[in-house]
Structure 1
Amino acid sequence: MTNKVMLSGLIVAHNEEQVIEDALKSLHFCDEIVVVLDRTDDGSVALAKKYATKVIEGGLDEGFEVEGVRRNTGIEACKGDWVLELDADERISPALADEIVQTIRYGQKQGYYLLPVHNFVGERHVQYGWAGSFGTNSVARLFTKGSKTWGDGLVHPKVELQNKLGRLTQPIIHLVDTDINDMVDRLKRYTDARAQDLAKEGLPKFRTTLRKGLTRFYKSYFARKGYKEGRMGFLLALMAMLFVVLSHIKAEVEIQKSGR
C-alpha cells in the first residue's frame, strides 16, 4: 500500500473455521487485518491469529451477542484511514483488491463506496432474486472511519451511512450457502435471532407482518427477477417471505413464555 493512506481489513465472525482462512488470505493487500470473534469455540481463533494484526475476542460481558456492537467494536479498533469490511464467507478477488487500492490511493474525501456482490449457492452464481436478509447485490464495505455506524440488533442491524462517494466495478465473491439444506439452517438461525429483537421491540399486527412478507416475495421473485433463476429463484423469494413471518410467530411464542 502507498504511504498516503492506510487501509484496515476487518472481519467479524463467530464459528467460521471452514471459510474464514480464505477470507483472511484475500485481505493480504491491507496494511492491517482486524478480526473480532464472538464466543468462538472452533478453530477460528487460531486461524485469525495466523493472519490478523489484531484479534479481539468477546462474549456476553462485552455485549457481543449484538451484531452491531461487534461490528462497531471492530471499526473502532481499526487504525486505518479506510476500512474494508468483509464477512468470513466472502472473498476479495485480485481485481477488486487492485481497484480498491487505486480508488483510495489519493482520495482525501470522507464517505463510503458501494461494492457489487456476486452471490453463490454451491458453485452456482445466482444473479437474481436476492432480497432481505438472504443476500444483496451491493454493500457499503469500503469507507472512511466515521462514515459507517451499525445499529443495535442481533441479526443484520440497520446501518447509518454518510456521504456516498460512488460504486466500484469489481465484485465481492459471497459464498452464501453450500446447498438448500444450508439455506434452511440459516433461515432457522436468522429467525431465532430476529424473534428476540422483535420480542423486545414490540410486534406489529400479524396482518401487517403477513403483508410485509408477501411484499418481500413479490420484490424478490418479480421486481428483482428471481423467476429467471427457476426453482432457485422461487426458493429465494419463499425464504425472504418466511423470514418475516416466522420471526413474528417465534417472537409471539417468546413473549408468551416470558409472560410479557
Structure 2
Amino acid sequence: MTAPLLSALIVAHNEEAQLEACLRSCAFADEVVVVLDRCTDGSKAIAERLGARLIEGAWPQEGDRRHAGIDACKGPWILEVDADERVPPALAVEIRKVLDGAEPGCIQIPFDNYIGNRHIRHGWGAYNGISVKWSLFWKGCKRWGNQRVHPSISIEGAKGRVSAAMTHYVDKDITDLFARLNRYSTLAAADLIAKGERPGRLGSIRRFFSRFFKSYVSRRGYREGYHGLALALFAGLYPLLTHLKVEEARYQRRQVSLFLSPLHSRHQHQRRLQNRNDTRINELLVSNRFRNSLNADISIKRNSESGH
C-alpha cells in the first residue's frame, strides 16, 4: 500500500452538527485525520463511522492541537479544513491538479463565507472573518503561533493559489456572530493579560472607528445590508471590547488584592505576636534552666560544706 499523497486534517471540539457534512466533502483525500479536542458529544462516533483516523486529547492552544494533527498526518500534502467548512467538488478537482508536480510550499484557497444560508461577499476582514487562507501546504512548511485567538502562522517554500473557493459557514445568524465576537474578545484579552500588555483607551476607540470604516466602506460591507453593518460593528467592537475586558480584569485583580491585603497584614501581625511570644517563652525557659542550674550548684555547695 502506497503512502497517501494528500491528508485532510480536521480539528474539532463538539462539532457533531457540522462534522458529517465536512467529512463527506473531504472524501476525495487519501486519508482524513480528525483531532478531537475534549469532545463530549457525538463527534467521535461520526468520525469513526465515516472512516477517519482519530487523534484524541486536550490542548490549551489552537496551535498545539493543529500541530498534533499535522504530526499525525501521513501525507506530504495537508489540507486543513474546519468543521464549519466544506470542500466543493470543483475545489477538490483543482487541488488534485495543482498537487500533481507541485513544489513543497503553501497554497492559498479563497473562501465563500456564509451567514446562515446567505453568501456574504463583502465586509470581511482579519477579525470578523477572512476571504483567503493558506489551507493547503506541504508538511513542515506551515507553523502555527501560540495565541488563544487568531494565532499567527509562519509559512515557507513555494507559494501558489487556486481559483475554486472553500465554502465556509461562519455564523448561523446575527446572534451567533456577536456570540463569536464575545468569545474572541475574551480570548484576546486573556492573551494580552498573559503578556502583561494593556491597550490604550484612546487607541482602542480610534480603532473602533477605523476598522468599522474599513469593513463597511473600504471593503464595501454596505452592499450586504444589515449583515454588512453587523460585520462592521464586529470589526470595530473587537479591539474596544478586548480593551474593556483587560481593564475589567485589572480592576478585579486590584479588588482581590485590596481584599487580601488586610488579611495578609493581619496574618503578618499574628505571626509577629507569635514570634514575640515564642521569644518570651524561650527566654523564660532559658531563665528557668539557669535558675535551676544555679540552685543545683548552691545545693551541691551547701551539701559539701555540711559534710565538712
**1:161-214: CA deviation from partner (whole Å, max 9, x where unpaired):** 123522101100001111111112111221222221121121221222222232
Q: How far has the Cα of 1:252 moved from its partner?
A: 1.9
Stretches of structure 1 lacking an aligned partner (at least 5 in a row): none
Question: 1:115 touches 1:170 (CA, 8 Å); kept in 2?
Answer: yes
Bigger Cα displacement from structure 2, 249-258 vs 236-245:
249-258
Between the aligned partners of 2:161 and 2:3, the Cα distance in structure 1 is 22
Aligned residue in 2 for 1:182: 176
**1:192-244: CA deviation from partner (whole Å, max 9, x where unpaired):** 22221121121221222222232221221111111111221111010111111
* CA distance 1:187–1:93, shift in 2 (3 Å): same
* CA distance 1:213–1:140, shift in 2 (3 Å): same
Aligned pairs (5 A) from 1:133-152? 133-152=127-146
Between the aligned partners of 1:42 and 1:51, the Cα distance in structure 2 is 16
Q: Which has the higher contact order (CA 8 A, sep 6+)?
A: 1
Instruction: With the length of structure 1 as denominator, give the TM-score of the two structures.
Output: 0.92
Aligned residue in 1 for 2:157: 163
* Residue 185 of structure 2, aligned match among 179, 191, 203: 191
Task: Give the helix-richer structure, 1 or 2.
Answer: 2
Aligned pairs (5 A) from 1:67-146? 67-107=62-102, 109-146=103-140
Q: How far has the Cα of 1:54 moved from its partner?
A: 2.1
Runs of 4+ in 1 over 6 A off after TM superposition: none
Between the aligned partners of 1:15 and 1:126, the Cα distance in structure 2 is 26
Larger radius of gyration: 2
Task: Give the strand-richer structure, 1 or 2.
Answer: 1
**1:15-45: CA deviation from partner (whole Å, max 9, x where unpaired):** 1111111111111011111111211111112
Question: How many residues are matched?
Answer: 253
Question: 1:116 touches 1:139 (CA, 8 Å); kept in 2?
Answer: yes
Aligned residue in 1 for 2:42: 43
Q: CA RMSD in A?
A: 1.7
Stretches of structure 2 lacking an aligned partner (at least 5 in a row): 258-308
The amino acid that maps onto 2:88 is S
Instruction: With the length of structure 2 as denominator, give the TM-score of the two structures.
Output: 0.78
Between the aligned partners of 1:224 and 1:141, the Cα distance in structure 2 is 23
Question: 2:200 touches 2:243 (CA, 8 Å); kept in 1?
Answer: no
Determine what percentage of the aligned residue pairs are the same residue. 43
Between the aligned partners of 1:49 and 1:89, the Cα distance in structure 2 is 18
Question: 1:198 touches 1:248 (CA, 8 Å); kept in 2?
Answer: no
Question: 2:4 touches 2:74 (CA, 8 Å); kept in 1?
Answer: no
Question: 1:154 touches 1:194 (CA, 8 Å); kept in 2?
Answer: yes
The amino acid that maps onto 1:94 is P
